[in-house]
Structure formats: structure tokens, C-alpha cells
Amino acid sequence: MSTKFLIDNAKLIELSINENAEEIEKLDQEIGDGDHIFNVQRGIKLVIDLEPTIKNLPMSKALNTIAMKVLSGIGGSSGALFGTLFMTLAKGKDIDNGIDFNKTVEIFYDAVQAVKMRGKADIGEKTMMDVLIPVANTLKDLNQKEISMETILSKVIEVAEEGMLSTKELIATKGRASFLGERAKGHIDPGARSSQIMITTVCESVINS
Amino acid sequence: MKKFMNNADDFLNESLQGFKMAHSDIVNVHFDPSFITRSAKTKEGKVSLISGGGSGHEPMHGGLVGFGMLDAACPGYVFSAPTPDQMVAASEAVDSGAGVLFIVKNYSGDIMNFEMGSEMLTGKSATVLTNDDVAVEDSSFTTGRRGVAATVLVEKIVGSLAETGASLEECKVLGDKVNKNSGTMGVAFSSCTVPAAGKPTFDLQLDEIEFGVGIHGEPGRRKDKIKPSKEITDEMLEAIMEDLKPNNNEELLLFVNGMGGTPLLELYLIFDNAMKYIESRNLKVSKSLVGNYCTSLEMQGASITLTKLDGEIVKHWDSPVHTAAMRWGM
């Protein structure tokens, strides 16, 4: 993985998020306060705009620059959660000496644990953790077996979709939707949907490259 | 959408610039990152009170910066939590060495960002988390109730205590007490429109009201048909009483708060209706506040807050305050 990989994927994510922007906004207006899509779009744009700044930086510095930008530039829960994600990725051991798939799996797993702590949310609470936790676990589990990277990533795409869809029947206990109680049932969580889109985009781009 | 706005990106900064110029005797507004401080420096040994949250709730919190209340406020984008760099910059600007007390409304984004901010601070800090909204039930595993209008009361009362040179711990204890003694219930008659979104946050028919609405237009308990004010007020107070369970003859502060789009004429009418309800329950309102303090942009609607009083709370409620939005005793 390189800083070019980060920016290239941010650009791909921007395209797929924009394609689904109306759906995400509508989901958030049903069970949240309607700001999620703007936070996500603003965050992606901020990361893409960092291209000249981070292009030649070592990975740890590049990821930390992204973390600080996302943290201060997005605001809301998304800023804190994605800021925590990138900040933890940046702290990954030896990442300036190159990141292979094993390393990616390892630092992503740790980053998801940190996000889980920050948001104090676990699986089953109708949040983006319903996507991120199963994805991190699947990556870690399958990577320990003799399975090709392409097969693992295809499985991750499936797991992300299942996780996203599972939020539909959940009652939220975390995040804005939790203030709705039963009324949020029947709606997919917007954060789970946007995370699933991001994960799927990155997995597909790696599979196709 | 019709708003006084040039473009959504400059919306907040232009408003903050205006606020800065209009109240230069009381506040100073700093940019990149944005935070509001008193124009006078925090005196040595005084605990600094810092609050913040998404914009769109004005005058909370920037309008509550000044003598007897906040030392600083961190405004986020409209309905979006401020970011840790704002909290760090504000703390560094106002902390006189006695520590920083963050007053945070119970919303997950606010909590996470204030938490990260306080982790990045080198000085000592504590947090009072407000969760006065009785509309949505607390349960063993939820993130709990929302922090709404009683936050204004916490800021006034703890702000007064801090001026006396009380310790960080004492300020936190009083803040927690005021929050615990308070209950709020809100009702919306119309939605509000976030500038960047351009369309109303939720749908409400012309004859519908949202009972238990949050301060961002998040739905509450249920949608009802519009009915006489007396009935709405009774139901709001019923919900608060169920939660607060005041004793007979207990003295209360009654706070009727406008959401932004409801005229004072109606807020005072609510006050009248609420007084009748409270008196019929053998309770006494000895302190009051009516006005738009914790708003939701242009939303039509109001909230009622009741706070159980004791000598300490009354003393710090009555003490002088001089902010853009609240001023008495000086």
C-alpha cells in the first residue's frame, strides 16, 4: 500500500458515495438529523485535496495528516470516528517500511477496535460498527487460512453487505437513531450504508487491479 | 429554502463575524479554529467553563459567553459537533491554571469530540454531561437521554459558582446536580432546514405536531394532531413530572424555551398555561425564564424545563450575569 493507493481509493470512494448520496441522505433524514452525507462528502473531499501534501510523506505521517484533517474538517460523530480510525492506522507498527496485505489486515483490525472504543458501540446497535466489525473479523480470520486475497476480499464485500442490511431490523441503541427507539426499526442505518459503500469500493478496486 | 445566506460554506463564519462585531464589549471570536471567548481574560485561579456543540441553537452557546457564565464556546457546523482542535485551542486560550470544565450535551458526536479534545489537553479538565430531555426513555443499555435546554441553566448556575473561585470538582458536582434536578420536554410545530441540506429535516403536516422533539428536529415520542395549548402544555408537564417527581410544595424554576420560530407572545401563553398546571399540583414556581435560548434554527415549537431548586441553586441563579443573551444584576 502506498500514499497513491490512499488517494486513488479516496477518489473511487467519492464517485461511489456521490452515486448513492440521495439514498444515504434519505436514510439519515428518516432516523437521524440529515447531516451524515454532507459530513462524508466533505471528509472525502478533504482527503483528496491532501494529495499534494501527503504524496511524498512516509505512510505514518500521511495517515496522521489525514486523521487530523478528517477530525477537524468533518466534525460530528463521523469526524471523531474516522479521525480515530486513521490515527490508529498511522500508529501501525513498521508501516513506513512497506505495507503488504497481512499488515493491512492487522492495522485495519486494530483501527476498528479503536473506533469501537471511541463510539462505545458494538455489533447489533445499528451503527457503522455492524459493517466494520464483521469486515475486520472476516479479514483477520480468513487471512490466517490458505485463501487467496481476491477470495477474501470477495467474502468481505458479502459480509459488509450483510452487516449493512442487518441494521434494518435492529433497534438503535447508539448514535442519533437511538433517540427514536422502535421508530428506527425498518430503516437501514445511514452510517452502515456509507461504510459498506466505502469498503466495497476499496475491495473491488483491489480485486480488479 | 429561504434563508439570509450568501452561500452555505460561508454561512457560519459570516454569522460569527457579525456576532463578534455586535458584541465586541463582551466577547471575542477567534477563527481557524473557531471559538468564542470573553473579551476579558479569565482571572487567575478561576475554573474555566467551556461549552460547545453544533451551531443552530443560538444563543446557546456563544451568546452565553461572558461574566457569570461561560469562558469559551466552540461552535461546530450547523447541527454538527465541534472538533477537538477547537476545544484544545479554546482551553489553551482561557485556562488560568484552575482547570477546564466542559459542559456537553448528551449527543454522541459531541461526546466523542469533547472526549478527544480533553485527551489532547495537558491541563486538568472535567465534564458535565447534560441529559435533561425526558422525551425518550433512558434504559440500561442506551446512550441515554438527550441534553437540551437545561444546559443553559447549568451554564448559568455553574458559571456563577466558578466566579467565586470554587474548585473544578465543586463546579462539576453542582453542574451534575442541576442537570439531575432538571427535566425538559419539547414540541415542534414545524421542521427546520439545515442550510447545507436546503430542505426540511423532517416532514410534519400542517395540522401535526411532533411531541418530544429533539433540538435538531429528531423525532420524539409521537406525532399528534394540533390541539389547544393547554392540552399540549399539560402533556409536556405530565411527562416532566413523571420523571422529576417533585415533592409537595417544592420550589421550581420554570423555563419556557422557544425553538426559534415561535413568537414570545406564544411563549408567555405557554408560561401562563404551565403555571396553572403547576399550581394545581401544589408546587411553587419561584424562578422563571422565558425566551429563545436553546433553539433549532427556524423551528416553530417550544420546550418546557422544570428544575428543582435549593438554596445553592437559587443563589447562583440570581447572581449577576453579563452575556450577549442573558444579562441581569449588572
B208 lies in some domain: yes
Active-site residue list of B: 57, 216
B220 and B149 in a single domain? The answer is no
Q: Check CB contact of A38 with chain B, cutoff 8 Å.
A: yes
B217–A38: do the CB atoms touch at under 8 Å?
A: no
Tell me, yes or no, whether B266 lies in a domain.
yes
Radius of gyration of chain A (CA): 16
Task: Kindly state the cell numbers that stand for A56.
Answer: 511524498
Q: Which residue has the cell 444546559?
A: B151
How many Cα atoms occupy the beta-carbon half-sphere of B24 within 13 Å? 4
What domain count does chain B have? 2
Note which residues in 60-119 of chain A have CB less than 8 A from chain B: 68, 71-81, 83-84, 118-119
Instruction: Indicate if the pLDDT at residue B254 is higher than 50.
Output: yes
Q: Return d(Cα B288, Cα B311) in angstroms, integer.
A: 15
Q: What is the CATH number of domain A3-208?
A: 1.25.40.340
Residues B124 and B170 occupy one common structural domain: yes
Per residue in B16-74, pLDDT (tens digit) is 999 999 999 999 999 999 999 999 998 999 999 999 999 999 999 999 999 999 999 99
For residues B167 and B224, membership in a common domain is answered with: no
Nearest to A173 among B143, B216, B218 (CB): B143
Does residue A170 register a pLDDT over 90? no
Beta strands per DSSP E along chain B: 27-30, 35-38, 48-55, 66-67, 72-78, 100-105, 125-130, 182-188, 208-211, 222-225, 251-258, 284-291, 301-308, 321-323, 327-328
B268-279 confidence digits (pLDDT tens): 999 999 999 999
Co-location of B226 and B88 in the same domain:
no
Judge whether B168 lies within some domain.
yes
> By mean pLDDT, which of B58-72, B110-124, B293-307 is the weakest?
B110-124
Shared domain for B29 and B151, answered yes or no, is yes
Q: Which grid cell is A3?
A: 500514499
B48 and B152 co-located in one domain:
yes
With beta carbons under 8 A apart, name residues in chain B contacting A129: none
Cα(A170)–Cα(A99) distance, integer angstroms:
36
* CATH code of the domain covering residue B109: 3.40.50.10440
Residues B296 and B187 in one domain: yes
How confident is the model at residue B139, as a pLDDT? Answer: 39
Instruction: Supply the pLDDT for residue B314.
Output: 98
Out of A25, A72, A174, the one facing B83 most closely (by C-beta) is: A72
CB within 8 Å: A176 and B112 = no
Q: How many angstroms away from the CA of A128 is the closest CA of chain B?
A: 14
Nearest by CB: A72 against B85, B214, B216: B85
Q: Decide if B140 is inside a domain.
A: yes
- Please tell me whether residues B17 and B160 are part of one structural domain: yes
Residue A79: which of B113, B136, B141 has the nearest Cβ?
A: B113
Q: CA-to-CA distance for B100 and B112, rounded, in angstroms?
A: 17
Q: What is the pTM of this model?
A: 0.86
Reported as a pLDDT band with limits 50, 70 and 90, residue A114 is very high
Task: Please give the full DSSP string across A48-99, using - where no structure is assigned.
Answer: HHTHHHHTTS-HHHHHHHHHHHHHHHH-HHHHHHHHHHHHHHHT-TTGGG--
Assess if residue B270 is contained within a domain.
Answer: yes
CA distance B147 to A119: 18
* Residues of chain A with C-beta less than 8 angstroms from the C-beta of B108: 77, 119, 174-176
B-chain residues near A179 (CB < 8 A): 136, 146, 214, 218-220
Give the domain range for residue B107. 11-180+317-324
Q: Judge whether B4 lies within some domain.
A: no
Report cis status (omega within 30 of 0) of the bond before B263.
no
B195/B293 same-domain check:
yes
> Is B223 within 8 Å of chain A by CB?
no
Instruction: Write out pLDDT tens, residues B140-175.
Output: 334 688 999 999 999 999 999 999 999 999 999 999
Cα distances from A42 to residues A5, A37, A73, B8, in angstroms, run 20, 8, 8, 13
Q: How far is B13 from chain A (nearest CA, A)?
A: 14
For B22, list phi and psi in degrees, rounded to 5.
Answer: -70, -30
Torsion angle in degrees (nearest 10) through CA of B30, B35, B41, B43: -170
Q: Does B75 share its domain with B220? A: no
What are the extents of the domains in chain A?
3-208
Selecting from A25, A71, A174 the residue whose C-beta is nearest the C-beta of B143 gives A174
Residue A32 contacts B where some CB pair is shorter than 8 Å: yes
Nearest to A75 among B80, B107, B194 (CB): B80
Measured between alpha carbons, how far is A56 from A202 in angstroms, rounded to an integer? 22
pLDDT of residue B137: 66
Residues of B in contact with A180 (CB under 8 A): 136, 218-219
Instruction: Residue A80: list chain B partners with CB under 8 A.
Output: 81, 83-84, 109, 112-113, 115-116
Min CA distance, A36 vs chain B (Å)?
Answer: 9
Kindly report the nearest CA distance between residue B114 and chain A, in angstroms.
9
Question: What are residue B188's DSSP bridge partners?
Answer: B210, B301
Q: Which residues of B touch A76 (CB under 8 A)?
A: 54, 76-77, 80-81, 109, 113
B176: helix, coil or strand? helix
> Residue A25 in contact with residue A34, Cβ under 8 Å?
yes
- Confidence (pLDDT) at B142: 41
CA distance B8 to B18: 16
Q: CA–CA distance from B78 to each of A73, A89, A126, B209, B255 (Å)?
A: 13, 29, 24, 23, 24
Distance from CA of A105 to the nearest CA of B (A): 25
Could you tell me the CA-to-CA distances from B247 to A78, B30, B55, B308 in Å, in that order?
43, 46, 37, 9
Q: φ, ψ for residue B100 (rounded to 5)? A: -120, 130
SS3 A144: coil
Among residues B74, B56, B53, which one has the least CA distance to residue B15? Answer: B56
pLDDT at position B199, please? Answer: 86
Average pLDDT, chain B: 94
Same domain? For B160 and B248 the reply is no
For testing the chain A interface, which of B35, B108, B133 should be mutated: the one with the most A CBs within 10 Å? Answer: B108
Instruction: Pick the more confident residue, A96 or B203.
Output: A96
Contacts of A115 (CB under 8 A, 6+ apart): A81, A84, A85, A88, A129, A132
Instruction: Count the neighbouring beta carbons within 10 Å of the beta carbon of residue B4.
Output: 7
Range in A15-24, B191-200, B206-215, B283-292 the model is least confident about = B191-200
Same domain? For B286 and B248 the reply is yes
Residue B224 falls inside a structural domain: yes
Residue A43 touches chain B, beta carbons under 8 Å: no
Could you tell me the CATH number of the domain that includes residue B265? 3.30.1180.20
Task: Check CB contact under 8 Å for B116 and A83.
Answer: yes
